[in-house]
Amino acid sequence: MNIEKLRDFCLSFKGATEDLPFDETTLLFKVMDKMFALVDIDIFDYINLKN
């Protein structure tokens, strides 16, 4: 998987948004203001998922 496919997948959830609140390389995905995924867009070697 690449960063574009991950982004498309995360944004496919109803109400999903993306943001860069921490720095310019950590992409955060949220649904209803709750974090569900974090990924470094420069070093795309892992995804941090929340439950």
Q: Give tens-digit pLDDT for 1-51.
A: 889 999 999 999 999 999 999 999 999 999 999 999 999 999 988 899 988
Instruction: State the DSSP H helix or E strand holding residue 31, giving kind and residue range, or none if neither.
Output: strand 26-31
Domain locations in the chain as residue ranges: 3-49
Assign 4 to helix, strand or coil.
helix
Distance of alpha carbon 22 from alpha carbon 12, whole angstroms: 23
First-last CA distance in the chain: 21
Report pTM.
Answer: 0.87
Distance of alpha carbon 18 from alpha carbon 13, whole angstroms: 11
